Amino acid sequence: MKDVDQADMVLALKTASDAVKELIFGSMSSRAAEMVREDLENLGPAKLSDVEAAQQKIIKVVKKLEEAGTITIAGAGGGDLV
């Protein structure tokens, strides 16, 4: 999460379900999660295209981290994990 711009994270979470938000918040420090929650509460209306652009930026960061071997995405590569 440290590699993702906080403004992009807030905007990307604008349309996310509560379950997704809690999953994201659970992977952050409590302080960072609280800051994002506050920013999200204070975020006014946003264009859907801006939200989708922020989500795409995060996807690019995730793919870059996966390619570098920094993270592993469960189910990636088509094989079962054991």
Q: Which pTM does this prediction carry?
A: 0.79
Please give the tally of structural domains in the chain: 1
**Is 35 domain-assigned?**
yes
Q: What's the helix, strand, coil split of the chain in %, to 5?
A: 65, 0, 35
Residue 76 has pLDDT above 80, yes or no: no
pLDDT in tens, 24-62: 999 889 999 999 999 999 999 999 999 999 999 999 999
CATH number of the CATH domain containing 59: 1.10.220.30
**Is 78 domain-assigned?**
no
- Counting Cα atoms < 13 Å in the Cβ hemisphere of 52 gives 3
15: confidence class by pLDDT, cuts 50, 70, 90: very high
What is the DSSP secondary structure assignment for residue 68, as one 8-state letter? T
DSSP 8-44: HHHHHGGG--HHHHHHHHHTS-HHHHHHHHHHHHH--
**Is 33 domain-assigned?**
yes
For 27, the domain range is 6-67
**Is 82 domain-assigned?**
no
**Is 32 domain-assigned?**
yes
**Is 11 domain-assigned?**
yes
